[in-house]
Amino acid sequence: GAGVSQSPSNKVTEKGKDVELRCDPISGHTALYWYRQSLGQGLEFLIYFQGNSAPDKSGLPSDRFSAERTGGSVSTLTIQRTQQEDSAVYLCASSLKPGSNQPQHFGDGTRLSIL
């Protein structure tokens, strides 16, 4: 079956612009996660959606970052007034059920470059 799909695969934008990154999880997966990997850094947790519960936003680095998940499926990560330090690979993952003992299935990521 189809895996986690992310778009765009690459995005280059100017500092100060807003960007939207999209994630289509695996059908039927109730949990969805966003991570980012900045140059030379490890994978950093951003936000976690679990079913209809309030998302865990504890990893969002600033109020310029927001995410939503519509209809329990597709998710959009929005970065407003982008800064150069936002340049990173943004990865989305989903799991069948919420829970830390569930393997996460990752998309190929969006490589974001802020000029």
Select 58 or 70, whichever has its Cβ closest to other proteins: 58
Up-side HSE of residue 12: CA atoms within 13 Å toward CB? 1
Binding to other proteins by CB under 8 A, coded x per residue (else -) over 12-51, reads: -------------------x-x-x-----xxxxx--x-x-
CA distance 26 to 69: 14
| Count of residues near other proteins by CB under 8 A | 29
Q: Binding residue for other proteins (CB under 8 A) from 17, 99, 113, 115?
A: 99
- Contact in structure between 19 and 79 (CB atoms under 8 Å): yes
